[in-house]
Structure formats: C-alpha cells, structure tokens
Amino acid sequence: MKKKVLIVGTGLAGLSTALRLSTNGYEVEMVEKYHRPGGRLNLLEKDGFKFDMAPTFFSMSYEFQELADACNIKVPFEFVELDPLYAVHFEGDEKAYLIHKNLKKLAAEFQNIEPDLEQKVKRFLEGAGAIFHDTEHIVIKQNFDSLLGYLLQLTRVPLKHAPKMFYSMWREMEKNFDSFEVKVIFSLVGFFLGATPFDTPAVYSMLNYTELVHDGYHNVKGGMYKIVEGLVAELKKRAVTMHFGVEITQVEEKHGQVTAFIDSTGKKWEADLFVVNADAAAFRGQILKRKRYRPSKLDQKKWTLAPLTIYLGLDTKVKGMYHHNYFLRRNFKEYANKIFKNSIKLDKPYYYANIQSMHNPDYAPAGKESVFILCPVPDLRYKPNWEDAEEIADAIVADMGKRTGFDFAKHTEMRIIYPPNKWESTFNLYRGSGLGLAHDLNQVGGFRPSNKDESYNNLYYAGASTVPGTGLPMTVISSRLVTERILNDHGHLSQK
Ligand SMILES: Cc1cc2nc3c(=O)[nH]c(=O)nc-3n(C[C@H](O)[C@H](O)[C@H](O)COP(=O)(O)OP(=O)(O)OC[C@H]3O[C@@H](n4cnc5c(N)ncnc54)[C@H](O)[C@@H]3O)c2cc1C
C-alpha cells in the first residue's frame, strides 16, 4: 500500500527528505511558499546577472555523497574545493591574510605576527579533531526520544572534553595563539553557529577542524543552485510533485493525527504523513499554536544573527580581490558583544564578500562581475525598522572600495538588497534570523525542537531549526534523521 507524504517547504532539507522517502517507496508531494525550490539555497537573477542568494560554500561534502548513496544515484553536481579557503582583510592592513588548509602555507602567511604557527595549529587541531570524532556519531547524527536519552548519550562522550563546555571559544584561542589576528580568524566559526566566540563554548572549536583538516570548504561548479537543480531533476524522475506559491497557514486534525494542512487560500492538502521543512520552532508556534512556542517564548530563544545581503552587478571585472573575503576591524570584542543587541552603529560593519562570477563566469555578462555581500546584523526583535537598509548598504560598498582600492560604487550597474524583514517575508525566517535557532548547549540535541511532533503521530520536521542544526550538511543529516524516524514508525515500503 502506498503512503502519501506531504512536505511543507522545498529547502535543502525538504528536497533531501523527499528523495529519501521516494527511494523508500513513499509517494511524495511538496508545497512551497516561494516561486521556486531551494529555500535559502536559492538563486537571484536580474539584468543578465546571477547570484547565489545565501549559502556560498559548505563543509562536510561527504554528506551529499551519503545522500546520493542512500538514494541509489550519483551526486548530481560537482564539488569544487576552496583553496585558499578564504581571505581576511583587517582594517588598516595593506595585505589580506589567506587561509590555507596546508599548514606550512598557513604558517608562512602569519610568520611575522605568530611564530611557530604550524606547531600551534597542529596542537590546537588535534584537540578540536578529537571532539569532532568523539561526538559526530554519538551526538550529532542521532535521534533522541527524550531529554534523558540525550543526556545519557552525552555520558558516552569522553570526559576529557567536558571542561571545554564551560569556557569560551575565545578563551580557547587565547590558550593556543598569541596574535590578535589569528585568534579572531579562528574564532569566526562562532558566528556561523549564531553566537559570538565570547559566549560560544570551546567545544565548537571542532568546526576549525572541519574547515582546516577534515573536509575543508567546497562550492559547486556552475554555482550553488546546481545542488537544487540536480536534486529536483532526480525528484522529477520519481514523480514527486511540487506546488509553488502555496503557503500553509492552518492545520486540520482528527484523533491525534494531522489530516490536512490548509493554505492561505483555504485549499486543503491531505496526506497520510506530513513533514514540515519550515522552521521547526516557529511553525509549532505560528501554525500549530503551541503554547511552548508562543511569540513571547520564541522571542526568548537564542536565534542566529540576521543577514543584510547585497547583490551587486558590476560593469567591469574586479581586480585585486579573492573569491571569498572577510572584512574585519580591530574592535572585535566590542563589536561581537554589541551587534546582537543593536547597540552598535552599522556604519562600520563587519562583512563577507564573495565575487561570484570569479569561478562561475556565466553569473555575469562577459567582462562584468556579480558580487554578493553578507553583513550579519541584529534580528527584527532588536531592529524592526530597515528603512535605512540602502544607507547601510552604501556605507558597506564605500568601505569595501576604500579598503580594496576598487571603486565598487562607481561600477555598480544594478543592486538588490535583502534586509532581515525581506528574509522573513520571503522564506518565513523567524524575526529574519538567517540560520534559525542558535546552537547554545541548551538548544542542541535533546533540547532542540524534535524532528517528531509532540502531539501528532504523523507529523515530522526536517531542517535547520530541528536536529542536528543549521548549515547545508546539517540539513542533509536532518533529512536522514527524519527519514529514519518515519521508516521506524511507518515502515519501509517497496524499494525503488
Ligand atoms: C545569508 C545566508 C548565508 C548562508 N550561508 C551559508 C553557507 O555559506 N554555508 C552553509 O552551509 N549554510 C549557509 N547558510 C545556512 C543555510 O542556508 C541553511 O542552513 C539551509 O539552507 C537551511 O535549509 P532548510 O531546508 O532547513 O530551510 P530553508 O532553506 O529555509 O527551506 C524552508 C522552505 O520552507 C518554505 N516555507 C516556510 N514556511 C512555509 C509555509 N508555511 N508554507 C509553505 N512553505 C513554507 C520556505 O519558503 C523555504 O523555501 C546561510 C544562510 C543565509 C540566510
């Protein structure tokens, strides 16, 4: 007997879950609010320019291989490993630091300010790697049925890592390195988790291991959206249907089961099982009206920083820049501690810039360039009004021009800006938070919103704000975890 699954959302987690469930014989239908698939992993196109809308690189590329193997397909896109991983520009410095995976090359970059870096990094990464390997299978890639189960599982993690739960990532940098620049650069991963290195536990230095040793960073030949196009092509072969411009706003239930989701036009979408790829915390509050997730409770949670993204189409090629660039300043601690609360002026921000057409020439017309800038900013709780987004964008573009010697403003032919309110309205990102729920120790594992609903026994979740967490590889793992749950609860159907 066929079982029909309705998936709400076509983000990476939704698409990967659809692929896994259709492989296991489920009939899959998908509904999506936006006009095309991919969620945050999307593409903007204007006047002959293309832009990866949000993610520009990823770690743990082998998770895509695992997905392909589990679904009996070849990975439907090609990885490109980043080398150097990225460039870091500190205000006032003539030269950018290049971050290499090769430790000898990395040490040479910093030889004037951090002697013996190779030995220091090796020692640091040994500890970080041990945490990664000691938690990857025990904690990160596990479903938890209860908080107690999670806490018991944690006891299997070697005790030697425990102290790192109680001091900060910045402290870990201070223990291992001397120069301000190296400490700042290695602690940037704290921001990826949605917090600052000053309040992120040192255990998360395992991310330095994933970037520098384990698998590095990758992007995709032809642009990040090839991931979505590749997965959608496979889903079409399996007759998975997708409906765009459909926003689910209500639930219909009977005897502890969801019978249908209802969209904003009143249309009912029925199925046997339901997987929600929308934010697992916000959906419980806003659509299911759960008390534990009512607005005041959601606002008390720790959310990752919101993005202000700028997309520039330039009338010429950029000179003297790298593909991935961070622009930082020297007031790191002050900035990190104030940015979350909007108590810092945004006229001198920290930001990331990606010259997208540098490696994907068809992202810009011949002789031109497409540039993506991401500036982490306070979410809508702290800064609800973004009427000054153009002004902030002007300041960032001017700053980048001053620091690189290339006049970006003068060469801008077209510009698109997505402030947090636009991110919220486009993909229903709660308060405009870019990566979803943060990864504080009380918001991960058994503490994170579960991928199985507390009340309805045919409702599940996949994506950034359920287990294990945010970022592209994590959402692929999330699709595996939810599929395991569903197969466990409802069985394997005929294998495709
Ligand atoms: C600016 C930015 C930069 C990033 N950079 C990186 C990076 O470089 N590397 C990396 O690994 N990660 C990065 N991330 C994080 C990464 O994009 C996310 O972790 C990942 O894409 C989340 O996928 P998802 O499937 O969980 O959710 P989403 O991509 O958000 O998909 C959920 C989908 O559900 C739809 N939806 C929501 N509510 C409803 C509803 N009620 N009805 C119907 N549809 C609904 C949404 O429209 C959306 O399409 C970045 C994120 C941002 C915002």
Q: How far is CA 229 from the centre of its chain?
A: 19
- Report the distance separating Cα 417 and Cα 420, nearest Å: 10
Neighbours of 357 (CB within 10 A): 24
Q: Which two structure tokens, joined as six digits, stand for 469?
A: 């967490």
- Report the distance separating Cα 127 and Cα 135, nearest Å: 13
Sequence-ordered strand ranges (E) for 447-486: 459-461
- Report the distance separating Cα 323 and Cα 82, nearest Å: 9
Residue of the nearest CA to atom 41 in ligand 1?
248
Pocket lining: 140 vs ligand 1, CB cutoff 6 Å: no
Q: Which two structure tokens, joined as six digits, stand for 220?
A: 């995709």
Dihedral angle of Cα 32, 33, 35, 38, to the nearest 10 degrees: -50
Helix axes 117-135, 169-176, angle to 10 degrees: 140
Pocket lining: 428 vs ligand 1, CB cutoff 6 Å: yes
Q: Which region, left, alpha or beta, applies to residue 421 given φ > 0 means left and ψ of -120 to 50 means alpha?
A: alpha
- Report the distance separating Cα 418 and Cα 386, nearest Å: 10
User: Which tens digits make up the pLDDT trace of 438-488?
Assistant: 988 899 999 999 999 999 999 999 999 999 999 999 999 999 999 999 999
Question: What residues contact 421, with CB distance under 8 A and at least 6 apart?
Answer: 380, 384, 386, 432
- Report the distance separating Cα 126 and Cα 139, nearest Å: 19
Full DSSP string of 452-474: B-SS-TTEEE-STTSSS-SSHHH
Pocket lining: 486 vs ligand 1, CB cutoff 6 Å: no
Pocket lining: 309 vs ligand 1, CB cutoff 6 Å: yes
Residue of the nearest CA to atom 10 in ligand 1?
471
Tell me the pLDDT band of 343, cut-offs 50, 70 and 90.
low
- Report the distance separating Cα 332 and Cα 173, nearest Å: 14
Q: Which fold has domain 102-215?
A: Guanine Nucleotide Dissociation Inhibitor; domain 1 (1.10.405)
Say if CB 492 and CB 21 are below 8 A apart. no
Full DSSP string of 346-402: TTS--EEEEEGGGT-GGGS-TT-EEEEEEEEE--TTT----TTHHHHHHHHHHHHHH
Pocket lining: 54 vs ligand 1, CB cutoff 6 Å: yes
User: Which tens digits make up the pLDDT trace of 231-273?
Assistant: 999 999 999 999 999 999 999 999 999 999 999 999 999 999 9
- pLDDT: is 321 or 23 the higher one? 23
Say if CB 386 and CB 363 are below 8 A apart. no
Global model pTM greater than 0.95: yes
The residue whose two tokens read 């998908």 is 30
Please identify, by atom number, the ligand 1 atom nearest to the C-alpha of residue 307: 1
202, burial (CB in 10 Å: exposed 0-12, middle 13-18, buried 19+):
buried
Q: Percent of the chain at pLDDT above 90?
A: 88
Residue type at 212 in one-letter notation = L
Q: What per-residue confidence (pLDDT) applies to 493?
A: 66
User: Which tens digits make up the pLDDT trace of 306-334?
Assistant: 999 999 999 999 988 899 999 999 999 98
Q: What per-residue confidence (pLDDT) applies to 354?
A: 97
Query: Best mutation site among 10, 207, 277 for ligand 1, i.e. most ligand atoms within 8 A of its Cβ?
Result: 277
Domain ranges of the chain: 4-41+223-300+440-490, 102-215
CATH 3.50.50.60 fits 4-41+223-300+440-490, yes or no: yes
What are the φ/ψ torsions at residue 133 (nearest 5 degrees)? -70, -30
Please identify, by atom number, the ligand 1 atom nearest to the C-alpha of residue 465: 26
Q: Which two structure tokens, joined as six digits, stand for 54?
A: 């949000």
Q: What per-residue confidence (pLDDT) applies to 349?
A: 87
Question: What residues contact 390, with CB distance under 8 A and at least 6 apart?
Answer: 417
Q: Which two structure tokens, joined as six digits, stand for 252?
A: 């219909």
Pocket lining: 173 vs ligand 1, CB cutoff 6 Å: no
The alpha carbon of 263 and the centre of ligand 1 are apart by a number of angstroms equal to 20
Q: Is the dihedral of CA 137, 140, 146, 150 positive or negative?
A: positive
- Residues 454-463 as b/e (b if ≥16 CB within 10 A, e otherwise) read eebebbbbbb
